[in-house]
Amino acid sequence: MSNDVRMVFLGTGGGMPSPSRGVSATALQVGGEGTQRQFMRSSVSFMKITAVFISHFHGDHFLGLPGLVQSMNFSGRSAPLEIYGPRGAIDLVKAMLSLGHFSLAFPVTVGEMDDEDVVDLGQVTVTAVAGEHSVPSLSFVIEEKARRGRFHPERARELGVPPGPMFGELQSGREVTVGGRVVSPAMVMGPPRKGIKIVISGDTRPTERLVRAAKRATVLVHEATLDSSLLEGAKNYGHSTAREAGEVASAAEVDLLVLTHISNRYDDVSVLLDEAKEAFTNVVAAHDLMSIQVRTAMDLPADEGSEGRAEGAGDLSGQEERRSGS
Ligand SMILES: [Zn+2]
Ligand SMILES: [Zn+2]
């Protein structure tokens, strides 16, 4: 059962949109079955959004919602949509969605989250962490549930299982019978593997709470609105400097730090990257439509060439790719 995890930074600016950076939004795609290969090659499809998490109610973080929901409606969506945000979300979102006087053809549910509240989305859970901003704000910790263990094709072959559909059966957790003998998944699979963990800071000052919540995350996406020469401004407006983002990443011992919510005063982000690197080396600055393959599915049958490829929670490519087109 393959399961790709990809992040796409839809907007990476702090505050007002600029020609080079749209307002802040990050998409997380957790691959389903069947269509995922096409999905990976396509741009993010707004129709495939199952849940929207709003960190706080500053315009640059939620005003895109009515348009998004209306587009879904015009495009014939029937699947339900879940929307979550901090306290006040239910009234605000309902008011927003009734502004346009269009009746929705699909169900929308709105939920409010407090610190440590958890939403279970099936393959992942999302935990809220209270931020420290000028208005109530949340960071989000997205954790993949433990995954099945690694499939060992050589063990299966030793037990007489021929490569092919039976390998798939075993990998899906079903036993197979070969020559009258039952081979169970436990005989050919390793122990369950830890899932990945992605943390998105939203707008916030650096906090101990976030350091704890982000402990050993695969990816930490932290706001880095300003550089350290503007620390006082960052403090006044409840934002973080790039150095502070690096310090959070270092204290939390994450694998990769991505800086985002970058003020439009920076045409060149090297000042931000450089100071973040003083605290934490594995850092990149997000740009609009940057995508990160957090983990590529590698649970393919051995005869598709996956054998021997390294994989694991810490094995992210960290590679970015620029996407062309829309
Ligand atoms: Zn913001
Ligand atoms: Zn804000």
What is the 64 CA–ligand 1 centroid distance (Å)? 13
Looking at the domain covering 5-147+193-321, what would its CATH class be?
Answer: alpha beta
Strand duo 13-14 + 262-263: pairing: parallel
Query: Bridge partners of 256?
Result: 219
Q: Which ligand is nearest to the CA of 12?
A: 1
Instruction: Kindly report whether the global pTM for this prediction surpasses the value 0.95.
Output: no
In the structure, ligand 2 is a single-atom ion and the residues with CB under 5 Å from it are: 58, 203
Burial of 198 (0-12, 13-18, 19+ CB in 10 A): buried
pLDDT band with cut points at 50, 70 and 90 for residue 44 = low
**Rounded distance, CA 236 to CA 289, Å?**
30
What is the 130 CA–ligand 1 centroid distance (Å)? 15
pLDDT tens, residue by residue, 178-196: 999 999 999 999 988 888 9
Choose the catalytic residue: 60, 203, 255, 288.
60
Task: Please state the domain extents for the chain.
Answer: 5-147+193-321, 148-192
Average predicted confidence (pLDDT) for the chain: 85
What is the 139 CA–ligand 2 centroid distance (Å)? 12
- Residue 37, pLDDT > 60, answer no
| CA distances, 246 to each of 262, 263, 265, 283 (Å) | 14, 17, 20, 8
Helix pair 89-99, 65-74: axis angle to 10 deg: 50
What is the 20 CA–ligand 1 centroid distance (Å)? 16
Q: Residue 26 has what pLDDT?
A: 92
What is the 62 CA–ligand 1 centroid distance (Å)? 10
Q: CA end-to-end span of the chain, whole Å?
A: 30
Active site residue 60: yes
pLDDT tens, residue by residue, 246-265: 999 999 999 999 999 999 99
Four-CA torsion 3, 7, 8, 9, nearest 10 degrees:
170
Strand duo 118-120 + 108-112: pairing: unpaired
